Amino acid sequence: MTRRVLVLNGPNLGRLGSREPDVYGATSYAGLVERCAAAGRELGLDVEVRETNDEGELIGWLHEAADGRLPVVLNPGAFTHYSYGMRDAAAQRTAPLIEVHISNPHAREEFRHTSVVAAVATGTVAGFGIDSYVLALRALAGELSGQT
């Protein structure tokens, strides 16, 4: 039986491939979706990838995950640094939640150094490009199987 996992993406991640490729790489959002689905299949996970520019929608998805006891890989985008509403929704998690970032926020502008999500996440993976998602899914699979 495969375990359902939500991969949730915040603002501007739908622009992957065209948005600052020197920072975020050349992989498109469609490429990210396929990469996550392929990694999920290898790990026995049923991965559903979503993206929104709307803070309220992202909070609603986190509530859905908490209510359904669904594990989450979360790239909050810019919400990482200031959305206390999103942080509070993430804190309600009932399954592992891995925070993920394509770039390394600590190697960028100072305002990106603080994550309001990190303290309520199971863990964080950052700085490995699109592979950050694959690493996060592997960590999540380990958490779910009790191998961590």
Asked if the model's pLDDT at residue 16 lies above 90, the reply is no
| 130 among annotated binding-site residues | no
Asked if the model's pLDDT at residue 25 lies above 80, the reply is no
| 102 among annotated binding-site residues | yes
| 88 among annotated binding-site residues | yes
| 12 among annotated binding-site residues | no
Please give the pLDDT value at position 28: 79
- Residue 130, both tokens: 């699109």
Extents of the domains making up the chain: 3-145
Asked if the model's pLDDT at residue 24 lies above 60, the reply is no
Please give the pLDDT value at position 146: 80
Average pLDDT score over residue span 43-61: 97
The whole-chain average pLDDT of the chain stands at: 89
| 103 among annotated binding-site residues | yes
101 is catalytic: yes
In the DSSP assignment, the letter for residue 2 is P
Please give the pLDDT value at position 91: 97
Assign 30 to helix, strand or coil. helix
- The burial class, CB within 10 Å (0-12 / 13-18 / 19+), for 2 is exposed
133 is catalytic: no
Q: From start to end of 44-96, where are the E strands? A: 45-51, 72-75
List, in sequence order, the alpha helices (H) in 3-125.
21-24, 29-43, 55-68, 84-91
| Higher pLDDT among residues 14 and 50, named by residue | 50
Q: From start to end of the chain, where are the E strands? A: 3-9, 45-51, 72-75, 97-101, 123-126
Asked if the model's pLDDT at residue 113 lies above 80, the reply is no
Which position among 24, 106, 113, 133 bears the catalytic label?
Answer: 24
- Domain 3-145 bears CATH identifier 3.40.50.1980: no
- Residue 108, both tokens: 């960028």
Which position among 82, 84, 101, 106 bears the catalytic label?
Answer: 101
